Amino acid sequence: MNKENDADPTTSNFIREIVKDGIATNKQEGHICTRFPPEPNGFLHIGHAKSICLNFGLANEFGGTCNLRFDDTNPSKEEEVYVQSIIEDIKWLGFSWAGEIRYTSEYFDQLYDWAVCLIKKELAYVDDLNADEIREHRGTPTQSGRNSPFRNRSVEENINLFASMKNGEFSDGAKVLRAKIDMTSGNLNMRDPVLYRILRAHHHRTGDQWCIYPMYDFAHGQSDSIEKITHSICTLEFEDHRPLYDWIIKNLGIYHPQQIEFARLNLGYTLLSKRKLLQLVKEDHVSGWDDPRMPTISGMRRRGYTPESIRDFCERIGVAKANSTVEMALLEHCVREDLNKKAKRVMVVLRPLKLTITNYPEGQIEELTAENNPEDPKSGTRKVPFSRELYIEQEDFMEDPPKKFFRLAPGKEVRLKHAYIIKCEEMIKDRNGNITELKCTYDPDSKTGGSTAGRKIKGTLHWVSAQHAKKAEVRIYNHLFINENPANGQGDLTLSSGLNKESLEILQDCKIEPSLLDSKPGSRFQFLRMGYFCADLKDFTPDSPVFNRAVTLRDTWAKIAKQKK
């Protein structure tokens, strides 16, 4: 497994070496062309980000081009909203495609003609077997398949039947077009695979023009050929499909791209299946595809991840031939590392406890200077109001603290960030014994530049002026699943059984410093000592500010998960 502290930005990429070799031997005549071909049947997730970074990244690195082509061959599951979300995600990640956006549906006429070509070469036939019968005839990995009784129809009959399929003369599932290859092949994909099926569904681009649609295995290679793709990069499950990819292109006598397979991304505590992610959405386990707990690119964007951190993650994990699982800690490390350099530091109290400085002048307001980001000197400073009454975190005070508790306690001193040293003199409790307020005194000379500013104090707390604090909602996100491998090898999954009931905590009475009201949706911050947060892209307004936790300051999940086992 990849470990956070083993992250290596120079991780190997065997496909890069293949491309280099092709350029060195002039196989591509000096120009490479890749493509990213998503099916618009859901939102893209972090696994797709790996493919996006690989395809667009190789094209950029070697001065080539990368096409964006939508594989829109299954209209029953595809929607325009998915098309638009994919376009937005790719742009947000920082990539641009060559020329116009392409769609497999633009090639339907040519694909149909090529199917007819195979029929004329006696390499394809119309079959009347239904899906279950085809599956039963196909055999098993250890048992040969059986020929369909319709396999030896004449070329003329097949052409007429295929035309009738196109013209809507048969019901859905009544007939299919199959390649005529070898029912005894050791590769099940070569046992007369289906090339076309009848499917009456409204297409988001072609409407009701077609009632037959090509299977992905038929449309994939030919679309690559039309676009003169040099490197058709696929995930590892398509390795066994490559002989079919090559067979169709060879027998059509058309331009032949090189298909290369790589291991798809598996991420701990995460599901990377659009089908299962759609199930999460439909069963209302999440608020939508862009829920910040989702591994979708739109969910990560809303949560506060940066495109730079995702690109860095994809580069670090490398490209390999063997499947493995990457720890979530590595992705979160990349997010922290990027946000640490660019996120403005601000003070926010998530669970407020009132604190009154009894010897501070009533009515006095100070404007204290606070640095915006010590990692970026150019980020400058800002003014933060300070007054007699403040809020601090409830967890920063203990009535009976352990020995190494360096925060506030009765009779103890701490420094307030950017401000003074204070000492707790008294606690105020309600009738149930809950602490509702702290009475403290401050050292007026302990501010920066004061005569006692250099006194050594072990604890430093963040705070917000009660008079100036604004109320905000803060959403604390954790992993959506409690198990590192939620699917656990299952084809189907009862999602609710593995959900983390503590994946979302909503705090509605947080106190934020007033500068945060000027935030724009999507702005990212480090809440001092609390983590990295983002102004919610959908719900944030100056009148009702909402912030999402992008990531903790440190990797705390692994420790918590270990304790629960």
Catalytically annotated residues: 39, 264, 274
Count of C-beta atoms within a 10 Å radius of residue 425: 15
Tell me whether residue 338 is exposed, middle or buried, using C-beta atoms within 10 angstroms of its C-beta: 0 to 12, 13 to 18, 19 or more. Answer: buried
Instruction: Identify which of 180, 217, 182, 183 has the alpha carbon closest to the alpha carbon of residue 197.
Output: 217
Q: If DSSP states are collapsed to H, E and C, what string results for 249-271? A: HHHHCCCCCEEEEECCCEECCCC
Calpha distance 516→545 (Å, rounded)? 8
Q: What are phi and psi of 177, to 5 degrees?
A: -100, 130
Calpha distance 35→548 (Å, rounded)? 34
Distances (CA, A) of 370 to 376, 386, 528, 562: 13, 11, 12, 38
E strands within 447-503?
A: 460-461, 464-465, 470-477
DSSP state of 31: -
369, 418 contact by CB (below 8 A): yes
Calpha distance 250→493 (Å, rounded)? 40
Q: What is the dihedral of CA 130, 492, 263, 331, to 10 degrees?
A: 150
Q: Please give the span between the terminal C-alpha atoms of the chain, in angstroms, as a whole number.
A: 20
Distances (CA, A) of 299 to 275, 345, 441, 494: 16, 23, 45, 22
Instruction: Identify which of 303, 351, 291, 302 has the alpha carbon closest to the alpha carbon of residue 507.
Output: 351
Bridge partners, 13 (sequence order): 319
Instruction: Identify which of 358, 303, 357 has the alpha carbon closest to the alpha carbon of residue 532.
Output: 303
Calpha distance 167→162 (Å, rounded)? 9
